[in-house]
Amino acid sequence: MSENIEIEITGREAKLILKYGYPFPDQAEIFHPISGKSGFHVVNVDRYWLEMIVVDLCRSIREVKSESLQEELNSLCNNLEVSIKHPHVRVVN
């Protein structure tokens, strides 16, 4: 049985997930509607796919050259990992 995890992300973070998290098409559909939009958005993602997105984001951190982008991706990874480990704890930046 799969577990959906509720995450709260910004439109910018959704855009980063689409570009650097390499989600499969079914998961990309979750992030496209909020990508680039202002404010915070709550979405539900299957735990397995969220873990795969985190792995791909971590790989992207090592590949990108921009230090500020690395920091932004690292922060996003940390927030997603907290959501995975503590599904009922809301992360606030």
What are the boundaries of each domain within the chain? 4-85
Integer Cα distance of 83 and 51 in angstroms: 10
pLDDT in tens, the chain (93 residues): 578 999 999 999 999 999 999 999 999 999 999 999 999 999 999 999 999 999 999 999 999 999 999 999 999 999 999 999 988 654 545
Model pLDDT, residue 87: 80
CB atoms within 10 A of CB 75: 14
Model pLDDT, residue 3: 87
Entry pTM: 0.89
> What values do phi and psi take at 38, rounded to 5?
-75, 160
Model pLDDT, residue 45: 94
In order of 63, 64, 68, the CA distances from 6 in angstroms are 28, 28, 27
